[in-house]
Chain A
């Protein structure tokens, strides 16, 4: 079965620290890759996505992610986090031809001011 692993379940950082959240998926075919963010009490919204082309993708609020096909990974990064980045982050993968995305279990990020 296809699966998405997010290795960090809970991350606690101080403001200005750098962030990297891991995401690996299990299938080696053609995929579309996503990171969604859920701020406290809100719904999920798209942070960034990769379909093709440059494997380094830039999203909103200074986030970026790198697709490494050989490692089946799509890690999320931000050089300097802010208190307002406190949220839950979900990695998701759409395999070619599938209507159904596969979501990771999420990473809870808390940023202390």
Chain B
């Protein structure tokens, strides 16, 4: 039981490049989330998926897109990376009935 896994762990991009962050969970959770964490800003929600087949914007969706590929997988795409997207990105899934969030190990992204 791996919980929530994310790839890659580290990534360096140049401005304008694109990339996809992958996330998968094996806990059979319906809801999944993408957050970014910046110093002094706490966690900010980018997008979430309440259930398979649905996605919704969070607090800071601009510059990102998501795909809920199936119940297990929820990917985050940066179409044209900008230095302001330098951050640590966490994927999480939510245990229904308890609202407890389970987080992945994070992806540290640097955009030059």
Contact partner of B40 among A42, A44, A105, CB < 8 A? A105
User: By the criterion CB–CB under 8 Å, are B31 and A44 in contact?
Assistant: no
Contact partner of A42 among B31, B48, B100, B105, CB < 8 A? B105
A34 at the interface (CB under 8 A from B): yes
Contact partner of A99 among B42, B50, B103, CB < 8 A? B50
A32 at the interface (CB under 8 A from B): yes
Nearest residue (CB) in B for A93 is B99
Q: Mark A7-24, 1 if CB is under 8 A from B, else 0.
A: 001000000000000000
Nearest residue (CB) in B for A103 is B43
User: By the criterion CB–CB under 8 Å, are B41 and A94 in contact?
Assistant: no
User: By the criterion CB–CB under 8 Å, are A49 and B98 in contact?
Assistant: yes
User: By the criterion CB–CB under 8 Å, are B42 and A34 in contact?
Assistant: no
> Within A41-67, which residues are at the interface with B (CB < 8 Å)?
42-46, 49, 51
Q: List 21 A-B contacts (CB under 8 A).
A: A9-B40, A32-B98, A34-B99, A34-B100, A34-B101, A36-B103, A43-B106, A44-B43, A44-B90, A44-B92, A44-B101, A45-B103, A51-B98, A92-B101, A99-B48, A100-B58, A104-B42, A105-B40, A105-B41, A106-B42, A106-B43
B residues apposed to A, CB below 8 Å: 31, 40-43, 45, 48, 50, 58, 90, 92, 94, 98-106
A residues apposed to B, CB below 8 Å: 9, 32, 34, 36, 42-46, 49, 51, 90, 92, 94, 99-101, 103-106
